[in-house]
Structure 1
């Protein structure tokens, strides 16, 4: 597992966080959504590789897992930090 895989996970998080920060009306800060996206993507990809092993196929699957975990983190972030604070997601 090389450094390039970590960079790709981070880029997935940056893209996801930026899209949520700009497109979801309840999110207050693009910077925070990008940080949450990076954390979710890197954590998801790293845990997947840690649990399933390192091979070319598993590294490719880790990119999809990274995107899914990033989306879950960002969904939770948007629910927690919504502008209306009604608690509804």
Structure 2
């Protein structure tokens, strides 16, 4: 497992964390969303490679898994931490 795969997982986590933070309108900071996204993506990608091996097909599937793990971890975080109040209902 090369460093390139870890970097790609981290990039997926950064993008996923930023996008999820914007879509969910969470009360916490973008930095926290990105950090949780990176952790989820790295964990998901790494676990897939550990359990199913490291070949070309699994590397591609690990990218998808890292994106899904990022989304799941951010969703769990949004359930734990309260969201922003709606300011649009004046």
Shorter chain as denominator, the TM-score bin is: 0.7 to 0.9
Q: Residue 22 of structure 1: CA displacement?
A: 2.3
Q: Secondary structure at the match of 1:34?
A: helix
What's the TM-score, normalizing by structure 1? Answer: 0.88
Partner of 2:3: 3
Show the 5 A alignment for 1:10-89: 10-83=10-83
Task: Compare CA radii of gyration and give the structure with the larger one.
Answer: 2
Q: What is the rounded CA distance, in whole Å, between the counterparts of 1:13 and 1:30 in structure 2?
A: 12
Superposition RMSD in Å: 1.2
Contact 1:10 1:41 in 2 (8 A): yes
The gaps in structure 1 that reach 5 residues or longer are 85-89
Partner of 1:87: none
Q: Secondary structure at the match of 1:82?
A: coil
The gaps in structure 2 that reach 5 residues or longer are 85-90
Q: Which runs of 4+ in 1 moved over 2 A?
A: none
What's the TM-score, normalizing by structure 2? Answer: 0.87
Q: Deviations over 1:10-68 (max 9, x none)?
A: 00000011112223223321000100000000000000000000100011100001111
Q: What is the rounded CA distance, in whole Å, between the counterparts of 1:27 and 1:43 in structure 2?
A: 24
Q: What is the rounded CA distance, in whole Å, between the counterparts of 2:33 and 2:39 in structure 1?
A: 10
**What is the number of equivalent residue pairs in this alignment?**
84
